[in-house]
């Protein structure tokens, strides 16, 4: 979207500065008078919510790192010291631990919103792929973060997941073992492993920050998608980001913070696992090793495949397949709102993912395994078969003429003056 | 609210209530016993600790648990700090001095380690210096430190799969986090004669609440040998309830501050959200969207 900043420096200092580093001009153009579709619903507030989550995790994480000891002997004790002896340590720690879960709730809503409204389709392919990368780095960061309290579930979660790489031995004997020992920094999960996980857990959020900057940049090149999936064609299709989109984003963010605070203050341990309040013990294996809830769908896919290597490949493919979604979807229409057939399959995908999440927490036996396999097959079939085929055979509903035509009460032939009023003032 | 939404909410409410029904028929599925939920003063999103109950609970710890179990993450000073049992400071100082388990300090000027009486800043220690010593003294069993036991134990869901999401929804809506104390109460009151088909291993007792039902810990409290409180009253049930509450505090000493702060935060967020929503509506009412 072509868009130039309407920034005008007011003081002589601002003008002096603008000639040398026009950052205020850039910000004004991208976040003040940037044109946003006028028909965005509350699902579009999750981008801002996710930015908040990242910044909040970094802020609380920096404070926690001031008190945390990344060693096998002291890690668990230092987390307890934060809970008990650091002033408001309980609050910062809960905020960070619950914050990880909230980050994932928001990112899953954000991803499904993108899938429903076709936000991955041209010209937003790079924007979408950057999003998949962000998701991947987020998962790596969260996984290493969960290791840091060095409780039983931390230790055994790291053991199970890092051991997955040993399945590479099935391809080239010895390679898997070498990779696993390289990850561990030794011959078993130990304090050395914890130490490097801490280092990476501190590094990766800044990588995320860079990826998010690129994601927002790519978004501001293509412009936002919207519930109709139509491009902004005329000025009346859009409203300036400030105050319109900002006002709506603020409502969305604060509503989300209500849920966030509910967990921080009233249910801080609900999303975690009780076993992580027992210090890591390499000699005692917990009866059920379960990852954090946000990994459960992928964990279910891993266990649905009868071979270890196959499971690992399926698990990583479940994320990798998302990269190809822009080209797998053959429909000419972006938004599922106008795709009567695809809409049903979208909700089947949602059900499959929720179902896999439920099954990931169950022991791998009996009907649980059968259902895991059914949902896993659907998950891949959705992207590899249904998306290409449905796009070709489906007759989409008639699209509105434009974004503004879709929101005007009479539908078409709208009085242009009323629509264009706010941004031509 | 539309009619569909209304009936939707109603259905969810009914199912949340249904998920509340006792699931005794499904108890013992997968080796997990069904644990009854208890009423706790600190339960739910409004709960706060009952100071008197924590004091009684500490008495149980001091008169029974301490002979095997430590409480190393709790310090004597915590016993008089706000949000806990809030004993008088002088009483705690005197208690620390007479505590049976000494603190190892040193090395002194001769290079020797020595035992000394605990001070208020010291941890509340059990009788054993390490796990090896504990196992040697306990027939191979290891009595764990109790500082975090109320957080390190939880109750497994034992109902039907379709009711599970509603049970979760109800727990989130009511702020249920008391699986740990529920389990401790069930464990302490769960001792009894083993059913005929259960063969107990050597030195093990039968316990209805313990996973697998065979526990090495002998019954610490008994129906006819309970601990009497200062007012002369008490029962096994009271003892179990009070020590469970005390251990909940030991594992989560900031609960009172957490929940009371939480309400101010919720109030702030609710009001701000409503104001922002009103502002957004006014702003957007001027343009069709």
Across the interface, do B269 and A261 touch by the CB < 8 Å criterion? yes
Whether A362 and A302 share a structural domain: yes
In a domain, B5, yes or no: no
Residue B151 is nearest to which of A274, A407, A418, comparing CB atoms? Answer: A274
Whether B89 and B160 share a structural domain: yes
Whether A33 and A149 share a structural domain: yes
Q: What is the mean pLDDT of residues B105-132?
A: 95
pLDDT-derived band at B225, boundaries 50, 70, 90:
confident
- Half-sphere exposure (Cβ direction) of A158: Cα atoms closer than 13 Å: 31
Let me know: does A9 contact A17? Beta carbons within 8 Å.
Answer: yes
CATH of the domain at A326: 1.10.287
Residue A269 is nearest to which of B151, B261, B286, comparing CB atoms? Answer: B151
Which two structure tokens, joined as six digits, stand for A259?
């849920």
Which two structure tokens, joined as six digits, stand for A257?
């913070």
Question: What residues contact residue B136 under an 8 Å CB cut-off, 6+ apart?
Answer: none
Across the interface, do A266 and B262 touch by the CB < 8 Å criterion? yes
In a domain, A388, yes or no: yes
- Please report the pLDDT score of residue A407 as a whole number: 85
Q: What is the pLDDT along chain A (425 residues), one digit of tens a residue?
A: 456 788 999 999 999 999 999 999 999 999 999 999 999 999 999 999 999 999 999 999 999 999 999 999 999 999 999 999 999 999 999 999 999 999 999 999 999 999 999 999 999 999 999 999 999 999 999 999 999 999 999 999 999 999 999 999 999 999 999 999 999 999 999 999 999 999 999 999 999 999 999 999 999 999 999 999 999 999 999 999 999 999 999 999 999 999 999 999 999 999 999 999 999 999 999 988 999 999 999 999 999 999 999 999 999 999 999 999 999 999 999 999 999 999 999 999 999 999 999 999 999 999 999 999 999 999 999 999 999 999 999 999 999 999 999 887 654 444 444 444 344 33
Whether B246 and B151 share a structural domain: yes
pLDDT-derived band at B31, boundaries 50, 70, 90:
low
The mean pLDDT of chain B is 90
Look at chain B and count its residues.
Answer: 289
Counting the structural domains of chain A, the total is 2
In a domain, A328, yes or no: yes
> 3-state DSSP call for residue A270?
coil
Whether B69 and B121 share a structural domain: yes
How many CB atoms are closer than 10 A to CB B242? Answer: 25
CA A353 to CA A375: how far, in whole Å?
Answer: 8
Question: What residues contact residue B280 under an 8 Å CB cut-off, 6+ apart?
Answer: A247, A248, A250, A251
- Please report the pLDDT score of residue A424 as a whole number: 38
Q: What is the mean pLDDT of residues B198-225?
A: 91
In a domain, B122, yes or no: yes
How many CB atoms are closer than 10 A to CB A261? Answer: 21
- Please report the pLDDT score of residue A5 as a whole number: 83
The domain in which residue B126 lies consists of: 26-253
In a domain, A257, yes or no: yes
Whether B116 and B239 share a structural domain: yes
Whether B239 and B280 share a structural domain: no
- The DSSP code sequence of A210-261 is HHHHHHHHHHHHH----TT-PPP-SGGGEEEIIIIIHHHHHHHHHHHHHHHH
Whether B154 and B210 share a structural domain: yes
Mutate to test the interface with A, among B47, B210, B276 (most CBs of A within 10 A): B276
In a domain, A416, yes or no: no
Instruction: Say what the pTM is.
Output: 0.93
Whether A306 and A386 share a structural domain: yes
B261 interface with A at CB cutoff 8 Å? yes
Contacts with A409 from chain B: Cβ below 8 Å: 288
Residue A80 is nearest to which of B73, B154, B263, comparing CB atoms? Answer: B73
In a domain, B1, yes or no: no
pLDDT one-digit tens code per residue, B229-250? 988 888 999 999 999 999 999 9
Whether A180 and A85 share a structural domain: yes
* Residue at a domain's end among A254, A273, A289: A289
In a domain, B158, yes or no: yes
- Please report the pLDDT score of residue A403 as a whole number: 93
* Cβ contacts of B186-194, under 8 Å, gap ≥ 24: B186/B33, B186/B35, B186/B36, B187/B215, B188/B220, B188/B221, B188/B236, B188/B239, B188/B240, B188/B243, B188/B244, B189/B236, B189/B237, B189/B240, B190/B33, B191/B219
Across the interface, do A274 and B152 touch by the CB < 8 Å criterion? yes
Residues of A near B (CB-CB distance < 8 A)?
38-39, 80, 83-84, 90-91, 94, 239, 243-244, 247-248, 250-251, 254-255, 257-258, 261-262, 264-270, 274-275, 277-278, 287, 358, 363, 404, 407-409, 418-419, 421-422
Whether B265 and B124 share a structural domain: no
Across the interface, do A254 and B286 touch by the CB < 8 Å criterion? no
Contacts with A419 from chain B: Cβ below 8 Å: 287-288
CA B74 to CA A121: how far, in whole Å?
Answer: 57
In a domain, A227, yes or no: no
Let me know: does A31 contact A241? Beta carbons within 8 Å.
Answer: yes
Whether A259 and A360 share a structural domain: no
CATH of the domain at A92: 1.20.810.10
In a domain, A231, yes or no: no
Whether A300 and A200 share a structural domain: no
The domain in which residue A340 lies consists of: 293-396
Prediction ipTM score: 0.91
Whether B169 and B42 share a structural domain: yes
Q: Which residue(s) pair with B206 in the sheet?
A: B214
H or E segment and range at residue A287: none
Across the interface, do A277 and B251 touch by the CB < 8 Å criterion? yes
B289 interface with A at CB cutoff 8 Å? yes
In a domain, B20, yes or no: no
In a domain, A409, yes or no: no
In a domain, B3, yes or no: no
Rounded to a whole number, what is the largest CA-CA distance in chain A? 75
Residue A247 is nearest to which of B45, B279, B288, comparing CB atoms? Answer: B279
Whether B104 and B229 share a structural domain: yes
- The DSSP code sequence of chain B is --HHHHHHHHHHHHHHHHTTS--GGGTTGGGPPP-PPPP-TT-TTT----HHHHHHHHHHHHHTGGGT--EEEEEGGGGTSTTTT---HHHHHHHHHH-SSPEEE---TTS--EEE---TTSEE--S-SSHHHHHHHTTT------TTHHHH------S-TTTHHHHHHHHHHHT---HHHHHHHHHHT-B-PPPTTPPPPTT-EEBSSSTTSEESS--SS-SSSPPP-TTS---HHHHHHHHHHHHHHHH-TTHHHHHHHHHHHHHHHHHHHHHHHHHHHHHHHTS--
In a domain, A265, yes or no: yes
CA separation, residue B249 to residues A21, B44, B68, B119 (Å):
56, 15, 20, 21
Whether A255 and A370 share a structural domain: no
Q: What is the mean pLDDT of residues B13-26?
A: 52
**% of chain B at pLDDT higher than 90:** 78
Whether A364 and A267 share a structural domain: no
Contacts with B73 from chain A: Cβ below 8 Å: 80, 84
Rounded to 5 degrees, what angle do the CA atoms A335, A340, A346 make? 65
Whether B268 and B224 share a structural domain: no
Whether B103 and B171 share a structural domain: yes
Counting the structural domains of chain B, the total is 2
Whether B182 and B286 share a structural domain: no
CATH of the domain at B106: 1.10.760.10
- Please report the pLDDT score of residue B8 as a whole number: 66
Let me know: does A185 contact A192? Beta carbons within 8 Å.
Answer: yes
> 3-state DSSP call for residue A366?
coil
Whether A141 and A270 share a structural domain: yes
């Amino acid at each position: 979207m072509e868009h130039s900043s309407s920034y005008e420096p007011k003081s002589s200092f601002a003008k002096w500065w603008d000639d040398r580093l026009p950052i205020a001009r850039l910000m004004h153009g991208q976040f003040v008078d940037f044109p946003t579709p006028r028909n965005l619903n509350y699902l579009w507030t999750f981008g801002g919510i996710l930015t908040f989550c990242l910044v909040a995790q970094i802020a609380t994480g920096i404070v926690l790192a001031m008190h945390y000891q990344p060693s096998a002997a002291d890690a668990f004790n230092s987390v307890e010291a934060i809970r008990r002896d650091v002033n408001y340590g309980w609050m910062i720690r809960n905020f960070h631990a619950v914050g990880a879960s909230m980050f994932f709730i928001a990112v899953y809503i954000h991803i499904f919103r993108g899938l429903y409204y076709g936000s991955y389709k041209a010209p937003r392919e790079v924007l979408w792929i950057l999003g998949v990368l962000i998701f991947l780095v987020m998962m790596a960061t969260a996984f290493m973060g969960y290791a840091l309290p060095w409780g039983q579930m931390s230790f055994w979660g790291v053991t199970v997941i890092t051991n997955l790489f040993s399945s590479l031995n099935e391809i080239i004997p010895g390679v898997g073992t070498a990779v696993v020992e390289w990850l561990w920094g030794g011959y078993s999960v130990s304090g050395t492993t914890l130490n490097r996980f801490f280092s990476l857990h501190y590094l990766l959020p800044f990588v995320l920050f860079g990826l998010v900057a690129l994601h927002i940049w790519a978004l501001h090149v293509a412009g936002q998608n919207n519930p109709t999936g139509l491009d902004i064609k005329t000025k009346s299709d859009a409203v300036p980001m400030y105050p319109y989109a900002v006002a709506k984003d603020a409502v969305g963010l604060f509503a989300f913070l209500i849920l966030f605070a509910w967990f921080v203050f009233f249910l801080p341990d609900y999303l975690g696992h009780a076993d992580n309040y027992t210090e890591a013990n390499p000699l005692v294996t917990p009866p059920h090793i379960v990852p954090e809830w946000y990994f459960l769908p992928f964990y279910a896919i891993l266990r649905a495949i009868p071979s270890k290597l196959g499971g690992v490949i399926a698990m990583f493919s479940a994320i990798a397949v998302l990269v190809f979604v822009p080209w797998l979807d053959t429909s000419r229409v972006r938004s599922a709102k106008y795709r009567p057939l695809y809409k049903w399959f979208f909700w089947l995908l949602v059900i499959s993912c929720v179902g896999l999440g439920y099954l990931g927490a169950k022991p791998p036996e009996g009907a649980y395994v059968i259902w895991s396999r059914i949902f896993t097959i659907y998950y891949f079939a959705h992207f590899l078969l249904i998306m290409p085929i449905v796009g070709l055979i489906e007759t989409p509903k008639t699209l509105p003429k434009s974004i503004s035509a879709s929101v005007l009460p009479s539908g078409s032939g709208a009085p242009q003056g009323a629509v264009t009023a706010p941004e031509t003032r | 609210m539309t009619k569909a939404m209304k009936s939707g909410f109603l259905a969810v409410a009914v199912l949340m209530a249904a998920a509340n029904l006792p699931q005794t028929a499904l108890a013992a599925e997968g080796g997990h016993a069904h644990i009854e939920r208890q009423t706790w003063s600190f339960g739910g999103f409004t709960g706060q600790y009952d100071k008197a109950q924590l004091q009684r609970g500490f008495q149980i710890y001091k008169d029974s648990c301490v002979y095997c179990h430590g409480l190393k993450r709790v310090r004597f000073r915590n016993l008089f700090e706000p949000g806990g049992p809030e004993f008088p400071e002088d009483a705690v100082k005197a208690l620390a001095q007479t505590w049976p388990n000494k603190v190892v300090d040193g090395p002194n000027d001769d290079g020797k380690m020595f035992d000394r009486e605990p001070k208020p800043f010291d941890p509340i220690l059990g009788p054993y210096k390490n796990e090896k010593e504990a196992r040697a003294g306990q027939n191979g069993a290891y009595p764990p430190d109790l500082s975090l036991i109320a957080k390190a134990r939880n109750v497994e869901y034992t109902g039907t799969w379709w009711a599970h999401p509603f049970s979760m929804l109800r727990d989130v809506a009511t702020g249920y986090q008391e699986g740990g104390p529920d389990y401790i109460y069930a464990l302490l009151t769960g001792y009894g004669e083993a059913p005929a088909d259960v063969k107990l291993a050597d030195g093990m007792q039968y316990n209805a609440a313990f996973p697998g039902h065979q526990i090495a810990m002998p019954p610490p409290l008994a129906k006819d040998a309970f601990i009497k409180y200062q007012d002369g009253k008490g029962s096994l049930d009271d003892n179990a309830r009070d020590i469970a509450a005390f251990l909940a505090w030991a594992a989560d000493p900031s609960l009172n501050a957490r929940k009371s702060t939480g309400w101010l935060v919720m109030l702030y967020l609710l009001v701000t959200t409503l104001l922002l929503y009103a502002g957004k509506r006014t702003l957007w009412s001027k343009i069709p969207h």
